[in-house]
């Protein structure tokens, strides 16, 4: 089973000694309908949708060596799309005035003959605007 970028990020943050937990929610009735045929009968079910805190934060973290509260957005290889989403969000500047914000994008890299997942991390600041 594939490991999600959020799970990878949580594990990496905990390895750094951070206290962290998910801020993203799954809304079961928020998505569209998906139809399938079961026993000759057409059945629809909701697909659900994931909702980030303020539209930009998947994980909240407290680091032992940093001040304030940190918001973390985690993603796979779609790093630039997530960065644009964060920079265009109204709440980003508001959040940065009070705490820190990072984007963690996970990608597989070859080390010798094996594939190792490594994060690309961008720490946002008010200078990004």
Give tens-digit pLDDT for 7-37: 999 999 999 999 999 998 888 777 777 778 8
The residue that leads in pLDDT, 40 or 1, is 40
Place of tokens 């690309």: 120
User: What pLDDT digit, counting tens, does each position of 85-122 carry?
Assistant: 999 999 999 999 999 999 999 999 998 899 999 999 99
> Residue 118's Cα: distance from chain center in Å?
15
Contact indicator for 101, 71 with CB cutoff of 8 Å: yes
Q: How long a stretch of residues is the chain?
A: 129
Query: SS3 of 30, please?
Result: coil
Taking every pair of Cα atoms in the chain, the longest distance, rounded to a whole number of angstroms, is: 60
Q: How far apart are CA 75 and CA 46, in angstroms?
A: 24
pLDDT per position as a tens digit, 45-85: 777 788 899 999 999 999 999 999 999 999 999 999 999 99
């Amino acid at each position: 089973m594939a490991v999600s970028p959020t799970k990878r990020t949580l594990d990496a943050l905990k390895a750094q000694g951070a206290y962290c937990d998910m801020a993203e929610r799954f809304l079961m009735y928020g998505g569209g309908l998906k139809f399938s045929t079961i026993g000759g009968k057409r059945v629809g079910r909701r697909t659900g949708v994931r909702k980030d805190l303020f539209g930009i934060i998947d994980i909240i973290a407290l680091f032992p060596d940093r001040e304030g509260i940190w918001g973390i957005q985690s993603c796979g290889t779609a790093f630039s799309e997530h960065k644009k989403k964060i920079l265009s969000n109204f709440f980003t500047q508001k959040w940065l005035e009070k705490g820190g914000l990072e984007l963690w994008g996970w990608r597989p890299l070859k080390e010798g003959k094996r594939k190792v997942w490594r994060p690309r991390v961008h720490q946002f600041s008010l200078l990004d605007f």
